Structure 1
Amino acid sequence: MPTANALTELLAEKGVLLADGATGTNLFAMGLEAGEAPELWNEVAPEKIEKLHQDFVDAGADIILTNSFGGTRQRLKLHKAEGRVHELNRLAAKIARKVADRAGRKVIVAGSVGPTGELFVPLGALTHEDAVAAFAEQIEGLKAGGADIAWIETMSAPEEIRAAAEAAVKVGLPYTYTGSFDTAGRTMMGLDPKQIHSVAKDVGEGPVAAGANCGVGASDILSSLLDMTAADPDAVTIVKGNCGIPEFRGSEIFYSGTPPLMAEYARLARDAGARIIGGCCGTSCEHLAAMRSALDDYTPRPRPTIEEIVDKIGPLRNKTASESGGDSGRERRRRRG
């Protein structure tokens, strides 16, 4: 277990923590255009990023994720901003830090680190060394801006998780990581939920926490959660699921989750052993406030079965896997949240 840090200390104090909701969904609602880099808003519209963080804190979040999901040079290159990695990530963390420091209670600033979008050799051109360097460049910026922890998320490849974890250790930040189990119950690169805690257990002091985010519907990620907590009951497990089920209506994506449904998702996640619970795509501040109330009023119940999850949250989207995961990575590949 990693040495004491802000996240482990707050976990010890509160037992279970509420992470924030969707970044992308909410920024699109604020006027972000499809294809635009959210990270550039850290400079050109910092007041909007600050408002989103503040709204999540007001809804009860214990952890807020920086607006830096696509903050590696590989992702920023798509927007001709690959030379601005350190500055954009520093600004992302600085904005979140400002909100956290005035909260009047302990709020963790988690530096969001998403996938590079590149394939590793031999499938692609990205080497381990280049990946570590790219993630270290990003995490240096996040650390400079005041991030408490590197929050590695929405990963598919075990080797990419390890590269990002190595980078965090190199920079001197504790880290967490999550996979997105969106392809027949596994990640796109074949990682099984049962394996998540062991992926980077030997990197530095190991992760503070590990788990799942995004994927497809809330039922599917709870199914993955059962696998993860059964495989390592003592580990701190993260679950940050999408708001109900994503549905395409024309070219737009809508999420079926209501605040009461997401409150039930939070209770089921707690019953299934998650210690850090949040929302991903589609999760608004209203949803998050309902989740906060559900966790504050929590009464322990037996560990849920798949049948109970389906009964309370809705059907599994992934028809081919009986235990976990989901059937579509379209939204995740576009961007988290």
Structure 2
Amino acid sequence: MSRETTASLPTGFGRRDFLAAAGVALSGGLAGCSGVFAAEEDQVNVAGSSTVFPVTEAIASAFSEENPTVNISLSKTGTGGGFGNFFCAGRTDINNASRAIADAEVEQCGNNDITPVEFQVATDALTVVVNPDADWIDCLSVEELREIWRADGAQQWSDINEDWPDEEFELYGAATTSGTFDYFNEAVIGEEENHRSDYHATERDRTIVQGVQGSEYAMGYFGFSYYSENPDSIKAVSIDNGDGCVEPSIDTAMSGEYTPLSRPLYIYVAKESLAKSAVRDFTRFYMKQAATDLVSDVGYVPLTEENRDENLEKLNGAIAEVTE
């Protein structure tokens, strides 16, 4: 399988895309690869969450500068799509995840002799955004947010507040294969209701950005990193969980004030892949960098030094089990 590279800079090509083109293959061709691909000694193959993608991308770019002979391939497949189609099938070494691995996914991995090792790598402030021209809204309660996004809920803005426009929502959100969808569904919708299906569902967070930019009556949700890239063209909505309106930010996520939409972000490493030196070296580098400004620079809360040391201890234990 050949490595994909970026030959030219298309419209909207951002800093992260440049970093990726400089040192990391953004591969859209994982579906055609076999398990042999993941076994190549100088290859680290990563799929999964689009939310965690910016963290892994930034760290992979830094790693590639120091280790130019190692090929790191990244793909956005959604958390669930990454687990189900790639990681637990033995086709990738690492899965980015914006939620914890599910029991069914652990079982699938086990059936294929894959042992997932979990590492928290950051904290996110999952962010609800609207168009800047939506001057009637700055804050939503969790109950109002649920009413907008639940099945058979509100259909137009005035259903939430009679002073708001008699205009239908134009909604953009995560696809059902996304860990962001799962987390939002659990934290906001709850077990007694279902997430509505009549919205623009996508794994491409920048599609959500563009949709919200293009309509005064639009709303979307995604990881804080994608809002932090576009603070002048989309507006973040504060969330009131009963103690007043709290805006999403690195600081409010770190302090625990921004609830219930602050969440941990993970990578899962196949223990068996740690037999490869490239995967060992990249994962160790990742654990160290996850406690640095590389993470805050892309819009998430870095690990504490204590969390970093716990991760390194867990990693060293897993490496010992496959190399001794």
TM bracket (short chain): under 0.3
Higher Cα Rg, which structure: 2
Flag the structure with higher helix content: 1
Question: What TM-score do the two structures reach when normalised by structure 1?
Answer: 0.27
Q: TM-score, normalising length from structure 2?
A: 0.28
Which one has the bigger strand percentage?
2
